[in-house]
Amino acid sequence: MRNKLAAIAIVALTVISCNTAKKANDNTMQDSATKITNSTWELVKLGGTNIDQANTDGKKIQFSLNSVDQRAFGYSGCNTFNGSYTLEKGNRISFSQMASTSMACPDTEISEQEVLNAFNLADNYTINNGMLSLNVGKRAPLAVFKKVSSQEKIVEKYWKLKKMEGQNIVMAKNQEREIYFMLKNDQNRITGFAGCNNLSGTYTLEEGNRINFSNIAVTLKACPDVAINEAEFLKVFELADNYTINGDTLMLNVGKRVPLAVFEAVYF
C-alpha cells in the first residue's frame, strides 16, 4: 500500500513539475512576443547599410505586428505590404509571403525588394535597447529597426476624419475640402479644417497615450449650404483625453468608451 502511495506521489510531482515548466516556457514566450508585437518599428539599417529617414517627406519605412490576428503590415518605401507571421519560443519568427500594392516609384532610393526580402528570409529576431533585428540563422542582421513611440506616430501627420460617433463621414459635394487635423511639433500647435472653417489651437501629449487639446479656435466664415455640424466635430477636441493608434488609423477617445472620432493618415 505504501509503495502505491509513493508511486502516486511521484507521478503527481512529475505532472506538477511538467506543468510548471510548461507554464514558465509559455510565460517566457508571451513576454518575448509582447516586446515585438503591437508596436511600430522603423527601419534604421538594411543589409548592413545605415538608413537615415529623418528627413523623409511622407511615410517612413516601417512595419507592425498585430497580436490579435497575427497580421504583419507595413510600408516599404513606395508600397504598403501585408501578410501573416508566427512566433515560437527561442525568438523564432517566420513571415508568409508578403502581398504588396503595385504603385511605381522610380525615384525611390531604397530597394523595396530588399526590404521585403528581409521578411521573406528572417527566421529569428533579437531586441536590444529598443532596437529590433530580423536575422537568418546567426548571420549579420538582415534589417534593424527602432521602436517608434506612440507620440511619434501621431504628430506631423495629416489625419482625415473617417467616422464620428460611429457614423461614416462623407464629404459634401460643395464642401471646400475634407475634414482633417494635424499636430505640429512646432510649439505643440494643432491645425486643421472643420468642414467650413479652419481650426487652430494647442495640444499636450503624456505617457499612456494621454492627450489634451486647448485654446481651440476657428475662423468665422459662414457656409450655409454645407451640411456639416462643425460644433459636433469641435466637441471631439473638447472631450478627448486619450487616443489609440493601429497602423494608419487614429481614434480619439474619452475614457474607455467607444471612440469619439476615427481618423485615417493620408500621405501626399
pLDDT score for 149: 83
Residue numbers of the domain that contains 102: 36-148
Q: How far is CA 164 from CA 37, 86, 170, 260, in A?
A: 28, 35, 11, 6
Residues 223 and 161 in one domain: yes
In a domain, 25, yes or no: no
Q: Does 46 fall in a domain?
A: yes
Q: Is the pLDDT of residue 162 over 50?
A: yes
Residue 29 lies in a domain: no
Same domain as 141, residue 46: yes
* Domain limit, last residue, from 148, 168, 185: 148
The reply to whether 159 and 262 lie within a common domain is: yes
What's the pLDDT at 22? 47
Shared domain check, 167 and 254? yes
**118 and 160 both lie in a single domain:** no
Question: 191 or 149: which carries more pLDDT confidence?
Answer: 191
Structurally, how many domains does the chain consist of? Answer: 2
Q: What is the CATH number of the domain that holds 207?
A: 2.40.128.270
On whether both 100 and 198 belong to a single domain, the answer is no
What average pLDDT does the structure give for the chain?
86
Q: Give the pLDDT band of residue 153 (cuts 50, 70, 90).
A: confident
Length in residues, the chain: 268
Same domain? For 157 and 85 the reply is no
Lowest mean pLDDT among 126-135, 149-158, 252-261: 149-158
Instruction: Report how far residue 146's alpha carbon sits from residue 143's, in angstroms, rounded to the nearest whole number.
Output: 10
| pLDDT tens digits, one per residue of 214-264 | 999 999 998 877 777 899 999 999 999 999 988 789 999 999 989 999 999
Mean pLDDT of 144-157: 89
Mean pLDDT on 146-165:
90
What's the pLDDT tens digit per position in 196-227? 999 999 999 998 899 999 999 999 998 877 77
Q: Are residues 139 and 160 in the same domain?
A: no
Asked if residue 20 belongs to a domain, the reply is: no
Considering only 3-7, 14-18, 31-35, 136-140, which range has the smallest mean pLDDT?
A: 14-18
pLDDT interval class at 100 (50, 70, 90)? very high
Instruction: For residue 5, tell me if it sits in a domain.
Output: no
Task: Judge if pTM exceeds 0.75.
Answer: no
Convert the pLDDT of each residue in 14-69 to its tens digit. 545 555 444 444 444 455 567 899 888 999 999 999 999 887 766 789 999 988 88
- pLDDT of 191 above 80: yes
pLDDT for 134: 98
